């Protein structure tokens, strides 16, 4: 492994996360790892840092497809699908060649890939043959996608949005990464937004107006490729965003959250694996023999929450997300679903649980014992002490 990359993650205590994500990406077909689209301003300012990150990734055997925007306002202003900016079109070849030379200087290898894109009267009828991109992957090269298609046998220049759409549809990568001059999206108070769940409309209504066009593009694309995730970040934070849980940017996904009252409707094996992996403990034998009120889960079992009834009051028995899904906002989404469904709720956590700070903010009250902290919301005053006593003595279900 590249020594520089090893020391980067080792010194920041992110090495276990790095290993987790690297093994996950390596299990994917090479072309399904990621599409990286670079804004022209970011390329001009931070091209060297980006080239260094891509070179490290290639050495690790995870190679993204790359789109270099040559139009200055590519992320912010509405564009025609077939751009009329001749200056941007003329800029592509020298910019791409210079970037490839930067990569070569760092020991990486790339080439311009020319997918066959047929431009028709309606965007929905456009067709993309990605063979040349796939050939670059077969040769172990980073494909820099050419932004040109053909319309009635004439060469036309495509804007970054539509070029990205064609490549995403053709390759189905797991991540769509937009490299901008900022760290990510900000809200109306100019605060960084670490994650957005597009299934929750209220979560993205507070985004700053200047960023709405980027968000709209991502929403439209993730409607077409719902299993993918999008990331907006700065070139210098690319490795941290890809290989760590918290990352450094805005992570965007449309989580599909399902709910059931019947255990037979869930995959018990996957649910068990999710819980045991998240807590790094084994469930006690017969855990699923007990009756459940509700199981809320992400469709790919990246996260789940389990509610039981205890003395007639909803009790949150488990809430868990996979290690790879930490920092994506999935845990918050599951929490919101449970909170909406059960305004009155009781739950507990060990006194060393790192989620306690979050639970303190969400509860109406709590009592701390020698092993457990018991929390509640909207619980009648006369029910608090009996419920706390009872919940504190529920036998542990993880060992």
What CATH number does residue 327 fall under? 3.40.630.30
Residue 223, domain member (yes or no)? yes
Residue 366, domain member (yes or no)? yes
pLDDT in tens, 220-270: 888 888 889 999 999 999 998 888 877 788 999 988 899 999 999 999 999
pLDDT at 372: 96
Q: How far is the C-alpha of 93 from the C-alpha of 91, rounded, in Å?
A: 6
Q: Tell me, yes or no, whether 170 and 268 share the same domain.
A: no
**What residues have CB less than 8 Å from 239, skipping those under 6 apart?**
5, 8, 53, 56, 57
Residue 263, domain member (yes or no)? yes
Task: Please compute the mean of the pLDDT values over residues 101-125 and round it to a whole number.
Answer: 93
The yes-or-no verdict on residue 84 having pLDDT over 80 is no
Q: Tell me, yes or no, whether 119 and 141 share the same domain.
A: yes
Task: Please compute the mean of the pLDDT values over residues 53-71 and round it to a whole number.
Answer: 93
Residue 5 or residue 146, greater confidence: 146
Task: Please compute the mean of the pLDDT values over residues 30-42 and round it to a whole number.
Answer: 94
Contact 286, 366 (CB under 8 A): no
Residue 397, domain member (yes or no)? no
Residue 399, domain member (yes or no)? no
Residue 387, domain member (yes or no)? yes
Contact 34, 143 (CB under 8 A): no
What percent of the chain clears pLDDT 70, i.e. is strictly above it? 92
Q: How far is the C-alpha of 304 from the C-alpha of 297, rounded, in Å?
A: 4
Contact 123, 81 (CB under 8 A): yes
Contact 383, 313 (CB under 8 A): yes
Q: Tell me, yes or no, whether 269 and 180 share the same domain.
A: no
pLDDT at 143: 98
Q: What CA dihedral angle connects 75, 79, 84 and 90, to 10 degrees?
A: 10
Q: Tell me, yes or no, whether 20 and 103 share the same domain.
A: yes
Q: Tell me, yes or no, whether 39 and 150 share the same domain.
A: yes
- Taking CA atoms, 275 is separated from 293, 331, 339, 371, 399, in Å, by 17, 13, 20, 20, 12
Domain stops at, among 253, 275, 301 = 253
SS (H, E, C) 304-317: EEEEEEECCEEEEE
pLDDT at 51: 96
Alpha helices in the chain (DSSP H): 3-11, 15-26, 40-60, 86-105, 131-138, 160-171, 212-224, 238-243, 268-279, 330-341, 356-362, 381-392
- Taking CA atoms, 274 is separated from 181, 244, 302, 315, in Å, by 37, 19, 7, 20
Q: How far is the C-alpha of 72 from the C-alpha of 49, rounded, in Å?
A: 19
SS (H, E, C) 133-202: HHHHHHCCCEEEECCEEEECCEEEEECHHHHHHHHHHHHCCCEEEEEECCCCCEECCCCECCEEECCCHH
pLDDT in tens, 174-195: 999 999 988 888 888 888 888 8
Domain stops at, among 253, 274, 289 = 253
Task: Please compute the mean of the pLDDT values over residues 56-64 and round it to a whole number.
Answer: 93
pLDDT at 13: 62
Average pLDDT over the chain, rounded to an integer: 89
Residue 356 CB-density burial (10 A; 0-12 exposed, 13-18 middle, 19+ buried): middle
Q: Tell me, yes or no, whether 274 and 328 share the same domain.
A: yes
Residue 398, domain member (yes or no)? no
Q: Tell me, yes or no, whether 286 and 185 share the same domain.
A: no
Number of folded domains that form the chain: 2
Q: Tell me, yes or no, whether 239 and 292 share the same domain.
A: no
Task: Please compute the mean of the pLDDT values over residues 268-275 and round it to a whole number.
Answer: 96
pLDDT in tens, 320-367: 999 888 878 899 999 999 999 999 999 999 999 989 999 999 999 999
The conformation of residue 282, written as its DSSP 8-state character, comes to P
Q: Tell me, yes or no, whether 245 and 265 share the same domain.
A: no
Residue 76, domain member (yes or no)? yes
Q: Tell me, yes or no, whether 52 and 120 share the same domain.
A: yes
Domain stops at, among 234, 253, 272 = 253
Host domain of residue 31? 3-253
Q: Tell me, yes or no, whether 146 and 226 share the same domain.
A: yes
Question: Can you tell me whether residue 303 is helix, strand or coil?
Answer: strand
Q: How far is the C-alpha of 338 from the C-alpha of 347, rounded, in Å?
A: 12
pLDDT at 279: 92
Tell which residue, 211, 207, 221, has the closest CA to residue 175. 221
Q: Return the residue matching tokens 């990286």.
A: 36
Q: How far is the C-alpha of 179 from the C-alpha of 202, rounded, in Å?
A: 25
Residue 310's pLDDT band (boundaries 50, 70, 90)?
very high
**In residues, how long is the chain?**
399
CATH of residue 89: 3.40.1160.10
Q: Tell me, yes or no, whether 284 and 187 share the same domain.
A: no
Output the furthest CA–CA distance in the chain (Å, rounded): 79
């Amino acid at each position: 492994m590249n020594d520089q990359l090893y020391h980067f993650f080792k010194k920041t205590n992110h090495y276990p996360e790095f290993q987790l994500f690297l093994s996950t990406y390596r299990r994917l077909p090479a072309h399904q790892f990621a599409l990286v689209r670079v804004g022209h301003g970011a390329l001009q300012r931070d091209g060297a840092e980006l080239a260094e990150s891509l070179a490290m990734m290639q050495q690790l055997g995870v190679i993204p497809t790359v789109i270099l925007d040559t139009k200055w306002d590519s992320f912010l202003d509405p564009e025609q699908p077939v751009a009329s900016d001749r200056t941007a079109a003329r800029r592509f070849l020298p910019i791409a060649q210079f970037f490839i030379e930067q990569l070569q200087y760092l020991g990486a290898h790339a080439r311009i890939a020319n997918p066959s894109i047929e431009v028709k009267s309606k965007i929905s009828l456009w067709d993309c043959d990605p063979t040349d991109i796939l050939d670059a992957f077969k040769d172990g090269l980073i494909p820099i996608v050419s932004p040109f298609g053909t319309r009635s046998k004439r060469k036309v220049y495509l804007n970054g949005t539509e070029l990205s759409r064609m490549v995403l549809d053709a390759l189905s990568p797991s991540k769509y990464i937009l490299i901008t001059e900022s760290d990510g999206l900000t809200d109306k108070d100019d605060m960084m937004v670490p994650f957005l769940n597009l299934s929750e409309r209220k979560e993205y209504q507070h985004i700053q107006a200047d960023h709405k066009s980027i968000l709209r593009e991502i929403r439209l694309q993730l409607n077409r490729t719902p299993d993918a995730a999008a990331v907006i970040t700065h070139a210098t934070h690319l490795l941290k965003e890809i290989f760590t849980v918290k990352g450094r940017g805005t992570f965007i996904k449309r989580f599909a959250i399902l709910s059931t009252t019947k255990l037979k409707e869930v995959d018990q094996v996957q649910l068990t694996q999710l819980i045991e992996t998240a807590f790094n403990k084994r469930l006690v034998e017969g855990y699923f023999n007990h009756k459940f009120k509700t199981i809320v889960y992400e469709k790919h079992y990246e996260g789940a929450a389990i509610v039981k009834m205890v003395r007639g009051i909803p009790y949150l028995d488990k809430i868990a997300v996979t290690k790879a899904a930490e920092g994506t906002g999935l845990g918050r989404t599951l929490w919101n679903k449970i909170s909406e469904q059960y305004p009155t709720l009781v739950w507990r956590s060990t006194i060393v649980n790192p989620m306690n700070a979050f639970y303190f903010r969400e509860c109406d009250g709590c009592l701390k014992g020698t092993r457990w902290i018991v929390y509640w919301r909207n619980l009648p005053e006369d029910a608090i002490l009996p419920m706390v006593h009872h919940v504190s003595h529920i036998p542990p279900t993880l060992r």
